[in-house]
Amino acid sequence: MNRESVQAIGQAYYQAVFDTDRDLAFQIIRQALADGVTPETIVFEIVVPSIDRMVAGFTDTFDSSIAQHFMATQIAAAVTEEMLALFQHQPEVVGTVILGASAGDFHGLGKRIVAGCLKTQMIEVIDIGVNAPAEKFLAAALEHKAQIIGIAAMMVHTAQGKDGCLGVRRLLQQHGLESSVKIVVGGAPYRFDPHLYQTVQADAWAPNGIEAGRIIRQLIETVKAR
Distance between CA 148 and CA 143 in Å, rounded? Answer: 13
- CA 76 to mean position of chain CA atoms: 11
Write down the pLDDT at residue 53: 84
pLDDT in tens, 91-131: 788 999 999 999 999 988 888 888 888 988 889 999 999 99
* C-alpha dihedral sign at 212, 215, 221, 223: negative
pLDDT of residue 165: 97
pLDDT score at 68 = 83
* The predicted structure's pLDDT at residue 60: 63
Low-confidence ranges of the chain (pLDDT < 70): 57-64
Give the predicted TM-score (pTM) of the model. Answer: 0.79
CA atoms of 16 and 2, how far apart (whole Å): 22
pLDDT confidence of residue 67: 79
Q: What is the DSSP letter of 42?
A: I
pLDDT of the residue at 58 = 64
pLDDT of 73: 87
Burial zone of 225 (CB within 10 Å; 0-12 exposed, 13-18 middle, 19+ buried): exposed
Q: How far apart are CA 222 and CA 211, in angstroms?
A: 17
Q: What is the pLDDT of residue 116?
A: 85
Q: Which of 44, 50, 27, 37 is nearest to 4 (CA)?
A: 37
The pLDDT of residue 117: 85
